[in-house]
Amino acid sequence: MISYFGDLAPKAEEDFTLTLDTFLHVQQLRKKGLRAFCSQSGKATMLQTSREERAHLLSRVKMSTKLNFLYCQVPATGVEGWQQLLEELEEKENGTLPAPLPYPQQHSLQTELGKLNLSTIEAVMGSYTKVLFVRDPFQRLIAAYLQSMHSSSSFSSFVQEALDMGLQNASTVWKPLVSLCLPCLIQYDYVLMFGFLRQELGHLLQHARLKANIHLPELTDHHVLWT
């Protein structure tokens, strides 16, 4: 669904230099594609009133209350490097940002959005910088196969097993991002694509004025072959 990178999508990251202007333009394209999808799909755009339902629905959505970032934690999308980066930023004294929200700041990377009350969730969604990491769904499925205990069996058998499980019982490793990250409910400010993360993260930090003296973690996503 979310494959917007204009004409740059088929290329490897090292084949070009991504300028800030191009990055921002691509962000507009990706978010425009998301809005078009949401307007046609009829996906939920309102939070559940039940605390238990909210906690389940938002279980993959994490936040850094020290840096005012909200992000969706999905395996094999590059979010691991992002979490390392947040850890480094949180350790830096000049990385603290003001966050006038109606609750004490909890300096923890793993604070779940769904555990907060409804009014605080709405405040966070309206004020935090929201980041979504995306990857080609077939690449995610292949990564799940290679990293699982099923790698000794055939890929076709693995795919059939995934189909038999259905969407409701699907593993987070291959479950559609739209079900895990709720982009029709959460208006993400940045949509970053696996395969371009080093340059895109650099521009995100620059745009958020957080890049000074920050060493980006080793990101190997651009070495992964496109499928």
Residue 14 resides in a domain = no
Query: Mean per-residue pLDDT for 75-96?
Result: 79
Q: Which long-range contacts (CB under 8 A, 24 or more apart) does 202-206 make?
A: 203/18, 203/20, 203/23, 203/24, 204/131, 205/85, 206/20
Q: Domain for residue 152, yes or no?
A: no
158-184 pLDDT, tens per residue?
888 889 888 888 888 889 999 999 999
Cβ(161)–Cβ(222) below 8 Å: no
Which amino acid does the sequence have at 126? G
Look at residue 169 and tell me if it is in a domain: no
Let me know the angle formed at the C-alpha of 127 by 30 and 58, rounded to the nearest 5 degrees. 70
Look at residue 208 in the predicted model and tell me its pLDDT.
Answer: 84
How many structural domains does the chain have? 1
Residue 132 covered by a domain: yes
Mean pLDDT of 40-63: 85
Query: Per-residue pLDDT averaged across 181-205, rounded?
Result: 92
Q: What is the pLDDT of residue 222?
A: 52
**pLDDT at residue 206 tops 60:** yes
Question: Distance of CA 43 to CAs 7, 39, 63, 140, Å?
Answer: 28, 8, 23, 22
Looking at residue 63, its pLDDT comes to 93
Domain that holds residue 207: 19-137+175-223
E strand or H helix that includes residue 32: helix 20-41
Give pLDDT, residue 61.
96
The more confidently predicted of residues 119 and 2 is: 119
Residue 88 lies in a domain: yes
Does the residue 189 lie in any domain? yes
Look-up: residue for tokens 């979490």?
Answer: 83
Region 104-131: mean pLDDT is: 81
Mean pLDDT across the chain: 80
pLDDT score at 89: 84
**Which phi-psi region, left, alpha or beta, contains residue 130 (left: φ > 0; alpha: ψ -120 to 50)?**
beta
Does the pLDDT value for residue 64 go beyond 60?
Answer: yes
Q: What is the mean pLDDT of residues 87-113?
A: 60
Residue 204 structure tokens: 């995100």
Q: For residue 51, tell me if it sits in a domain.
A: yes
Instruction: Give the orientation angle of helix 79-91 with respect to helix 197-207, to 10 degrees.
Output: 40
| pLDDT exceeds cutoff 50 at 5 | no
Q: Is residue 103's pLDDT more than 60?
A: no
Compute the average pLDDT of residues 188-202: 92
- In DSSP terms, which residues pair with 132 in a beta bridge? 191
Query: How far out from the chain centre does Cα 150 lie?
Result: 26
| 183 in a structural domain | yes
